[in-house]
Structure 1
Amino acid sequence: RLFQVDSYGKCLHNRELPSQRLRDTSTATTEDSEFMAFIARYKFHLALENAICEDYMTEKLWRPLHVGAVPVYRGSPTVRDWLPSNLSVILIDDFGSPQELAKYLDFLDKNGEEYMKYLEYKNPGGITNRFLLESLEKREWGVNDMTLPNYLNGFECFICDQENARAKEEQEHKRSRGKTPAPRPHIAEFKHMGCPMPVPGYGSIEDLSGTDSWKEMWLQDYWQSLDQGEALTAMIHHNESHQGRFWDYMHEIFLKRTRQH
């Protein structure tokens, strides 16, 4: 009622995708060229994450940025750290009501100069977020860059580097008999792995069939990630490093959880 929205999904669903290929979930969750060309037609994209978690940002945010549209985003509370500039994404939580948001979108839609300010980061030198630029410069992994490790291998290297640095600081602390400060501990807290269980964007879990791809993917990933975190925690507490023990713990945790449910 406040602003025209074209919805191709179950929520509202007032538009049909032009081809069966685009209706395929495997196409819609990638950067398929046909799909990207289709979504690039829009000036704004409603980008609502499946869960509100500190470090959870997905293609719902990145794809509109990629194609030169403006995401209207609700998700990670730390999203500002990773945006190219202060004028690149419209954050829903910055508005007091849907009416305020719709009024602002209408203003941008009717004022081309103001709208184009949200795309200035696309110009050379337009990325002004120093934290983002420095993080990209320092990271040891790449995206679509075969000269660098992928992000999984790169993250493993990052963890090893952090631990080696901590061990070195610990040795210096002991050698100095306390004159050199002890390394600051880095301890995972609930906020790092405390994401709520995902829920469908439309309806409830009970409404979905047992073979629905949403159930098969999101719920399984959620529980598997929790189990893996618990297994790693158990290994750390027991000072264990053998990979086989990880899978032993995973099996024990899975059996415990299935008994509880």
Structure 2
Amino acid sequence: MDIQTSLNDGLYTITINRPARKNSFTNAMYTAIGDAFQEAMHHAGVKVILLKGHEGCFSAGNDLGDFLNDPPRDLNAPVFRFLRLISVCHKPIVAQVEGVAVGIGTTMLLHCDLVYASTTAKFSLPFTKLGLCPEAASSLLLPRLAGYQKAAELLLLGDMFSAQKASECGIVSDVLEPEKLQAHVDAQVAKLLALPVPSLQITKRFMKSDTRQAVMDKLGEEGLVFIDLIPEPQAQEAFKAFGEKRAPDFRQFELFQTKAKA
């Protein structure tokens, strides 16, 4: 199974389990992880959710082949359903991040409550490099967490950044040496499991209440534009360049636009 789940003494663990493809997401995986969050939210025995990747990798984002074969066409697509579910989840979500966290591998963390990363973890928000726009309400949440300039650097440039920078920008709660990460996550989860459920859920609700509607609105706004950008020439050039292992050439479209205006 590419998405594995388990429930043990109140802890519901969701593991992204596609190590051969760096845990990149297919539509079927978005459906499965959405179903997992749906189950966790409504299961009375679930107190805390732990989200992690298998074999030292969190997620490389979308599987490009699957994405191009069946791109999201409306806001009911599996990826957008998953993002809505994780954004409204009323139970504490802890994320354990090792290896790469690209695209949605990073943006989903903005909806988690505690995020612990290895010092070797690498993050990326490469939407502009793909001719696309932000997703998961990251254009709203990241400036609020990091401040506009830091968020702009991450979202406009789309470069890879370190776990330390992710921590400085508020994406990550703490950064641990690889050999200490698991023990630290286990300890923090144990603390949450020992606390009363009403207090945890009410506290989370209070912290999220001011942004809840704004997040839902931004999810929809970003999602519709994201869908519209996929067939555009710039995005298609980026996808083609990725497959050909070269840098995309976006200047050709600027030259075309200049000539058209002339």
TM-score normalised over the length of structure 1: 0.31
The structure, 1 or 2, with the larger RCO (C-alpha pairs under 8 Å, 6+ apart) is 2
TM-score normalised over the length of structure 2: 0.31
Higher strand share: 2
Rg larger for? 1
